[in-house]
Structure 1
Amino acid sequence: MNTRLLCVLGLLSLGLVTLVAALLFGGPSPAPEMASINDPFKTLDWSGMPSPARYKARDGAQLAYRHYAPASKDVRGSVVLVHGSSANGQSMHKMASAFAQAGYDAYALDIRGHGESGQRGTIAYIGQLEDDLEDFAAAVAPSKPATLAGFSSGGGFVLRVAGGSRQTLFDNYLLLSPYLGPTAANYRPNSGGWVSVGIPRLIALSILNGFHISALNHLTVLNFALNDEAKALLTPSYSFNLAANFQPERDYQQNLRNVQRPCAVIAGTDDEAFKTDQLEPELRALGIPWPVTLVPGISHIPLTLDSHALAAAVQAVGEMAQ
């Protein structure tokens, strides 16, 4: 056996050992509790929150959502709300209520892998969340004009839909302090401390998926900075499948360019998870003229709770529907 072949075999063996080690030992470390994410919900008034309803997804799963009926008989359309990472539809209660009071049919989804929709922390395949959303739209038929709005990672997923092949499911899109990905201008390392990423395992699984090997996509790659009480109620970690699906496409800039429907962006000036002052420059550099509203003095979670932020969201949807 010649020296060159031995070197090649040695490198292949080393690469295989490194890959296996990354899969076994390269998962995320625990994320220390992040008070600014956990605390705002402790004093929230949950009164008036509707009971969960269900729709049947194409795999037979019964997935959960909450419907907030409009306060007015003159329905202005509908708003379908997608929560942020680790959360569920309950976290969008204040925002859904605000849209209902403004005359919209409002729906707060439990995205599969969260809340009462499927096994927490994982999904069966990348792309299942888009399938679920299509099944929701077919089963529930939200009134027109229909807006899909997403917060944080949910905003990233909404962008995935808005710039994808199923963007015609909705008439308008609203991104609320969206996660655009680790290479985006608005990214803060580990989302400001909210998430712990198992980078070696994430890279190893990405390599395997590049070869169409997805058998290990159930492995955990993200942990969230929840307190002990929240861990029992929410989703403390994500598998590779869920993490890869609940965000924009990898080429987020092309994802942005592909959006053909009206879209608006809202964030707070004091957001600790993302650099929100970079959202408008990023869009303008790509030649995208979407309106961007930064609500003064608002940090990450209060964007979905504060009355001024809620008013800005309602206004943005109203302007897109004109």
Structure 2
Amino acid sequence: MKFAIGLLLLISVGLVGATALALIFGGPSRPPTLEGINAPFKALDNSDLPALSTYQARDGTPLAFRRYAPSADTSRGSVVLLHGSAADSRSMHPLAQAFASAGYTTYALDIRGHGASGTNGDIAYVGQLEDDLEDFVHAVDPVAPCTLVGFSSGGGFALRMAGGQRQQLFSNYLLLSPFISQEASTYRVDSGGWTRVGLPRYIAIMLLNRFGIDAFNHLPVVRYAVDESADLTPAYSYNLAQNYRPKADYRVALRETNHPMRVLVGEDDQIFRADQFATVFQNAGSDVAIDQLPDIDHIGLILDPDAVDAAVAAIQALNGQRVTDR
């Protein structure tokens, strides 16, 4: 009996020690700057970038967004834009301008943990981003029909919304090369060099959460290959990394989406496997239309004029509106 108790104590001490080591030393390393992602933004003209506005989230925090007024006399609806990982609303400027020019009131958000919204790289709890987005809709009351557009990780979060209990907040959804899951066939190792995940720390925190211990959820678990002089968000805490993506069983989200949805992806995407999106959606029992755009890479999907035109046309189609040339 004493031997068994001693063995259990020894195992417990070992597990505690291994967990502590994983938490302390198992964080993400810094990846080399990925020029294919960083360089295209350096040529952007942000001289006419709208000033930041704020709305108050339910915890009292002011969260930032940019509003683009429609150029047409008659509004065709509204668009809410979710940026990719490590970025903020500035990265969506060309896309926002295009939607506004097409007659849509457009909002580009700084998701909490990015830009001027909250603590850089962290949020208070998993699920806070859904609360924030609901608070935004209630505060701003976007004109219907309202489309939620997410790019990359923002596309993954848009999918999380589309398959969740608050999907009715938006009329339809447009996903631009969305992150689906590290277990989906669209995934490339380290997202093509864009990420470094501190897997030991990630696993340790995940296991601790199963026992109701969330004291370490604010530790960084993933780093991005950003140019760290560019005033971006180089790392995500466990809370932010778990929230700004689909839920673990992305297939459920795909099956439970009851609103119109479309997906655009560039054929030359270097972060995800473009040719696998149709397979992933079909295997999940989803008949969402997926369009591959030739000669477009990951960042080109939100910057290249042809890709931007395709995104505008996709929203017009989702709304059942006449597709117009810009």
Q: TM-score range by the shorter chain?
A: over 0.9
- AA aligned to 1:256 is L
Question: Which residue of structure 1 aligns with residue 324 of structure 2?
Answer: none
- AA aligned to 2:287 is P
- AA aligned to 1:318 is Q
Alignment deviations for residues 218-248 of structure 1 (CA, whole Å, 9 cap, x no partner): 1010111112322xx1111111111111010
Aligned-pair distance for 1:186? 0.2
Aligned-pair distance for 1:280? 0.6
Question: Which residue of structure 2 aligns with residue 317 of structure 1?
Answer: 315
Question: Which residue of structure 2 aligns with residue 99 of structure 1?
Answer: 99
1:70 and 1:101 map into 2 onto residues whose CA distance is 6
Percent sequence identity over matched residues? 51
Aligned-pair distance for 1:284? 1.4
Q: SS in structure 2 opposite 1:78?
A: strand
1:211 and 1:6 map into 2 onto residues whose CA distance is 23
Question: Which residue of structure 2 aligns with residue 69 of structure 1?
Answer: 69
Aligned-pair distance for 1:285? 1.9
Computed over aligned residues only, the root mean square deviation of the Cα atoms, in angstroms, reads 0.9
The 5 Å alignment of 1:229-268 reads: 229-230=229-230, 233-268=231-266
Aligned-pair distance for 1:40? 0.1
Question: Which residue of structure 1 aligns with residue 323 of structure 2?
Answer: none
Q: SS in structure 2 opposite 1:229?
A: coil
Give yes or no for contact 2:254–2:285 (8 Å, CA) kept in 1.
no
Number of residues of Structure 1 aligned to a counterpart in Structure 2: 320
Alignment deviations for residues 104-154 of structure 1 (CA, whole Å, 9 cap, x no partner): 111100000000001111011111101100000000001000000100001
Alignment deviations for residues 1-51 of structure 1 (CA, whole Å, 9 cap, x no partner): 443333322222211111111011100011111000100011112132110
Runs of 4+ in structure 1 off by over 4 angstroms are none
The 5 Å alignment of 1:132-151 reads: 132-151=132-151
1:290 and 1:111 map into 2 onto residues whose CA distance is 26
The 5 Å alignment of 1:117-132 reads: 117-132=117-132
The 5 Å alignment of 1:298-317 reads: 298-317=296-315
Question: Which residue of structure 2 aligns with residue 275 of structure 1?
Answer: 273
1:212 and 1:162 map into 2 onto residues whose CA distance is 28
Name the TM-score, length of structure 2 as normaliser. Answer: 0.96
1:287 and 1:245 map into 2 onto residues whose CA distance is 24
Question: Which residue of structure 1 aligns with residue 173 of structure 2?
Answer: 173
Q: SS in structure 2 opposite 1:100?
A: helix
- AA aligned to 1:174 is L
Question: Which residue of structure 2 aligns with residue 84 of structure 1?
Answer: 84
1:256 and 1:276 map into 2 onto residues whose CA distance is 18
Out of 290, 293, 313, the position equivalent to 2:291 is: 293
- AA aligned to 1:8 is L
Question: Which residue of structure 2 aligns with residue 8 of structure 1?
Answer: 8
2:236 and 2:274 map into 1 onto residues whose CA distance is 25
- AA aligned to 1:140 is V
2:25 and 2:309 map into 1 onto residues whose CA distance is 46
Aligned-pair distance for 1:276? 1.2
Structure 1 unpaired stretches of 5+: none
Alignment deviations for residues 287-316 of structure 1 (CA, whole Å, 9 cap, x no partner): 211110111011111110001111111111
The 5 Å alignment of 1:188-199 reads: 188-199=188-199
2:215 and 2:8 map into 1 onto residues whose CA distance is 27
The 5 Å alignment of 1:207-246 reads: 207-230=207-230, 233-246=231-244
1:53 lines up with 2:60 in the alignment = no
1:212 and 1:175 map into 2 onto residues whose CA distance is 33
Q: SS in structure 1 opposite 2:196?
A: strand
Alignment deviations for residues 61-101 of structure 1 (CA, whole Å, 9 cap, x no partner): 11100011111011111110000000000100000001001
- AA aligned to 1:251 is D
